[in-house]
Homo-oligomer: A and B are copies of this chain.
Amino acid sequence: MTTESWVDSAADGGFGIGNLPYGVFSRPRELPRVGVAIGDRVLDLAGLSADGLIDGRRRFASGSLNAFMAAGRPAWRAARDRLVELLTDVRFRERVEPHLVPVRDVELLRPFEVADYVDFYSSEHHATNVGRIFRPDREALGPNWRRLPVAYHGRAGTVFPSGTPIVRPSGQRRAAGEDEPGFGPSLRLDFEAEVGFVAGVPSGAGRGVPTWAFRDHVFGFVLVNDWSARDLQAWESQPLGPFLSKSFATSISPWVVPVAALETARVRPPAQDPEPLHYLRCDEPWGLDLRLEVLINGRVAARPPFASMYWTSPQQLAHATVNGAPLRTGDLFASGTVSGPERGQRGCLLELSWNGREPLELDGGMRRTFLEDGDTVTVRASAPGAGGATISLGEVSGTVLPPL
C-alpha cells in the first residue's frame, strides 16, 4: 500500500499512511482523547467520530486506548481502512483537516492502562553477556534458556509515559569485597532498550494463546526503556529474581504501532537450536526488522537490531499463557534488552561498559560507565515499510533526576 496522503508532512519522517499509530493526547482545557499520528500532525479521533466521520466515538473520547484495544481485530481493521480512506481521498480533506492538530501543540500521554507487565529476556547476545558479567563461574546461558523464553513479572504501576523524569532510586547494594550491604542512591543506574507488545483482546482462563492466534489478541508495539539499578539488582536477585532494581520505573513510547503496520518489517528470526517444544513452534516468520537507536544526551550510544532476537513475540505470548493464565486488555510484554552481536549493538550500559570496566566513549568526549544525574536517554526505532517508506516507532525518552 503506497497510496499517498493529502497531508503534506506524511511523505517522510516515518509517520506516513502505512504507519498510523495510535496514542492518547491532551490540549489545555480539554479531556485526553485518542489520536493517530500522520506526518507532523495528530488526527483527533474523538473529534472525527463526533463529526460522524469514523465509528467508535465512545472508544475514542476515552483517556486510554484500552476500550479500542478490547474491541478486537475487526474493529481495528475497520478503523485503519477508514483512516486510510479519509487521509488519502482529497474529497475528505475539507472535513478532516479541522481535526488535525500539530503534534508540537499537544501533550502525549501514556497510551494505555497497563494491566500486568511481563519482561522477557529474549536476546541471546544480551543474556550471554549478562551471564558472563554476573555469573562468570557458570555457563553464560542456563539449560532452560534455549528451551523457553525466560521472563518475570514487573511492576505495572510504574510503567510511565515517555518524558516522565526518572528519579535515581535508592536501595541496598553491596560494594565489591564487602560482606555487609550499604544503603543509598544507586551507583549503577542503567537503561534497557526494549520493544514491547500490548494485548487488546482477553483470553479465557485455562486456555493459552497459540502462536498462530497472536494477531487476534495483540494490538500493537511500543518502545520500552526498562530502567535498571544494577547494584541493587546484583544484591537482591537471588533466588526470586529482580525486584526493586527494576520496579522504580519503566518508560514506554507514546505511539502504539499497530501489528498491521509492521507486516512489511517481518523477517525470518535466527535459527533455533534445539527445535522448540510444539507449543512454541510458529510457521510464519515473526522476526521484526526494527532498527533501534539509543541516544544519551543526543549522542548515539548503540544501534540494537531487533531482528536478532532469539525468541519472537508470538512465541513469548504462547509461552506466557501456556499455563492457562488469562490475558487482559492492557497486558504489556516487553522483549528484554535488545542486543546484537557487535559491541555497538548492545542495548544497555551494563554490556556497553562491561559492568563499568570499559567506559563507553561518546561523541564530544563524553564517557559513561553508568548514567549520571541529568542524563537524558532516548530510544527510537524505525522499520521498513511498503515501497521504500519508513515506519517509525517514535521514541521513548527520560531524564535522570537526583534522589529526592
Q: Indicate whether A278 reaches chain B with its CB closer than 8 angstroms.
A: yes
Interface segment, one of A236-244, A337-345, A379-387: A236-244
- Chain B residue with Cβ nearest A330: B157
Q: Indicate whether A167 reaches chain B with its CB closer than 8 angstroms.
A: yes
A316 to chain B minimum Cβ distance, whole angstroms, is: 11
Contact B181 A277 (CB under 8 A): yes
Interface segment, one of A147-155, A301-309, A350-358: A147-155
Known interface pairs A153-B155, A181-B144, A278-B183; A239-B135 also in contact (CB < 8 Å): yes
Q: Indicate whether A325 reaches chain B with its CB closer than 8 angstroms.
A: yes
Contact B116 A155 (CB under 8 A): yes
Q: Please, which residues of chain B bring their CB within 8 A of the CB of A207?
A: 404
Q: Please, which residues of chain B bring their CB within 8 A of the CB of A239?
A: 131, 134-135, 142, 150, 237, 241
Interface segment, one of A16-24, A99-107, A168-176: A168-176
Which residues of chain A in 298-355 are interfacial with respect to chain B, using CB atoms and an 8 Å cutoff? 319-320, 322-328, 331
Q: List 5 A-B contacts (CB under 8 A).
A: A151-B243, A152-B242, A244-B319, A247-B320, A248-B324
A residues neighboring B (CB under 8 Å)? 115-116, 118, 121, 131, 134-135, 142-144, 147-148, 150-158, 167, 169-172, 174, 179-181, 183, 205-207, 229, 232, 235-245, 247-248, 274, 277-279, 319-320, 322-328, 331, 404
Contacts A183-B278, A207-B404, A241-B241 known; list 19 others, CB within 8 Å: A116-B155, A116-B157, A143-B179, A144-B181, A144-B238, A147-B172, A148-B172, A151-B243, A153-B153, A153-B154, A153-B155, A156-B156, A158-B205, A167-B324, A183-B277, A229-B323, A237-B239, A237-B240, A244-B325
